[in-house]
Amino acid sequence: MLGAIFGDMAGSVYGMRNKKTKDFQPLLAKNARFTDDTVLTVAVADALINDRDIVTSLKEWGLRYPRAGYGVRFSKWLFTKQYQPYGSYGNGGAMRVSAAGFLGRDLNHAVELAIQVTEVTHDHPEGINGATATAAAIHLAKQGHPAPTIRAHIAELWGYDLSPSVDEIRPKYRYDVSSQGSVPQAIICALEATDFEDAIRNAISIGGDSDTIAAIAGSIAEARFSIPEDLALLAWARLPAEMRRIIELFYARLA
């Protein structure tokens, strides 16, 4: 979960001015901050660990942080009395799904949880596909499966082309908030990485929707490598107390 949050923070300063290189310093800029990716990741974790209604949790957390940078359609859902999903195929389901991948008892359960927390807004097949693929990759990585196995499994069952390398993606990749246009790239960034930091650098280096791509890649990378304590503490220091409480409960559940 902190992997997704760290990725969100690290990418927050590059979404509108992409950094098409892995060689940037520092990894977490002074003006980096959490965005809607973090708020909704915490909301999903709160719903799953405290057995809360997912719509209620998303709305409550979203309204606590009204300026977190939500997408246009999600904002309409959040700030009105709309409670029905709106057919989104955006990457918003994948960016917030980290807890489902970690908390799933097995792969099928992780996917079921991902559907449960996604379909309330992103009920388009592509939106659900991105969230479930992310949760599956997290769960498989948590179980210790190597990157080639995870890559093959996701490619076969989710239909994503995960064959390009990060270096091949980077030159032509552009801003794309669709699930199908950003989740496969984020998964590649995580699976090609040599450690957690490398996954974040991969994700930011391809450009595009940097905070969300890094949040997705960071969630998978945490499952693969764990997040180094010094980086976890950097993210932790920038979070409000109410988010920290949910995160602590989440990791206690995993222990």
Is a pLDDT exceeding 90 seen at residue 213? yes
pLDDT at residue 60 tops 90: yes
- What local confidence, expressed as pLDDT, does residue 101 receive? 98
pLDDT one-digit tens code per residue, 155-199: 999 999 999 999 999 999 999 999 999 999 999 999 999 999 999
DSSP string of 141-172?
A: HHTT--HHHHHHHHHHHH-----S-HHHHTTT
200-211 pLDDT, tens digit each: 999 999 999 999
Query: What's the fold here for domain 2-254?
Result: ADP-ribosylglycohydrolase fold (1.10.4080)
**Under 8 Å between Cβ of 98 and 219:** yes
Domain coordinates in residue numbering, the chain: 2-254
- Tokens 């008892």, residue? 105
Share of the chain above pLDDT 70, in %: 100
Q: How confident is the model at residue 37 (pLDDT cuts 50, 70, 90)?
A: very high
Mean of the per-residue pLDDT values for the chain? 97
